Chain A
């Protein structure tokens, strides 16, 4: 332990941290009661207990360390699914929490642990621990008659192994056991992988890389390594990592391994993970499992700047490709068509296609849908609302909006804070709202969208709004501004005072809102990702925070269509279906053309009329119709040709052209040409007005 250490100087820090963890436990256990299968909550509780264990152990507080240690073990079983969360378990967890609080108070007042008994609690915890059932997890490591472990390989993996042996490599089955009190198993394993990757390829891990990163393992993991290094070198490489308890290395032999399929581990609890598991094998037989969440040995962490550089380089390639095509044209004019020139043309077209794909791939490498962050919120809002005694109607719009990965990591905390504020201070109590003539349920709306070259995220509520005068007064009181200057502020400037450091202090922040986070920290977080935050508020009406994140990479999956020679993109999120309509299926309601689809009337419009493009609509027997929908009633838009679905990067039309009605932006296609992205909402509104005009006549 930490003998020879004078811990008293660290006592305050310990107590502060303990308070934080206790807070987390408090909230999470309560939430768990209503959502027993929530793996995130279980992880939160586990981590808090783990942290408390670590710090109380460092400080020599044995009782707390012991309780939190057993608590942590129980939680581990809970989150692995070996024990179910029942009301009795919840009670036990709450009991633990109470004892921990008491222990902490004793330490706070006496500087050391007091007389509180923890025996009973610990024996209760042990009962739960002993009564566990075998993990439902797939066992992909089996024991043979001799008690030796063998790793189960599927056919592809076996192929890789025999290929490796053929080439004269070693194939090692390595079992690494971490120290039982290792605090960060994920990164610890990562270092092992990292070090090993410098001397070979890791072709399999048990559990999966994803599970290892999520620390879903006790303290042991297996891996299969292809390398030219012998056993002792491999061992010393792993041994150079700290917190390793033991290393067992054996050669992988194909004959003895059973031909069992490795099944997917059961998807327990509510899985909010993205599926998308692709397997790609290339010529060199190194297979990489791609899921969007694997981060250790099967992905490469790339500096975001590097991706930017790559993007710029590819951009230059595109331009050069055009010039190459030019040269080809020129030569053709002078020399006529000739074998070599045709080849030149082919090559240049091919390069164009490849660079287009390169561009797309690099952009995609960085983007994730924002729902990753948003998905935690409804639960959190519901519980915060209950705690604060408010009724909240929480709406989330734009979950599919994609954000750069760095932005996603940073945006969660500020949003949590804004939502908490809206619930605590924004929305009034139901009685108060009724008195004010508002619906008892307050509206809190979180939305994400891309507008031009920005991601816009808003948090709005229809609550009490912010009073510029009150804010001025408070700022003056806190010495953040003097009376003179305060008087000269516009209401908007006054409201922005809340962003000044020191505006809110820990004392005022209610228990539910969390500790020590002022609006200035929120703004810092946002500015860190090059964003800006703005407030719009009206007393009595509500408040709206608008966060703008400048992002040139906004991606949408779209349907590309052709209208004469121009290509247009329909963002798929609003496309219901695509149908083919025959000329004689068209009916008329007054002057409005419609077609019957599954018994419902679908009004039809040509894309050219919705965009005010003058052209002769060709006479056709049949034509493709893209059915789009904004609110309830769908609209059918006639186009010339369907080109297919594609993920496109949204680019702004620029300041010069400004907002063109009916268009949301532009995108660059694989051949370097520009396609226009349709603003479906705008088109539908236009269509609706037209429709009414025609039908009302």
Chain B
């Protein structure tokens, strides 16, 4: 089966794929928004964003709003490309299944 070629290992986790979906649609999102949208705990979200950051697909900006720390995640160009490639691979797979 060569069909699954082009699938990205980083996006195997549903949560990481969810994070990327949100960021592709919105460019950036803060920690609380992501947490609420995906229904995750702090620690869980943090570990997944860290792995995406290490892959260079997202970057994070930390700043203080008043006294509260605020973390915003922003999608990088390579992240956008990787995500698009992954979606294309999934769609190709479906197309080949149907034909």
Question: Are A and B interaction partners?
Answer: no
Residues of B within 8 A of A (CB): none
Residues of A within 8 A of B (CB): none
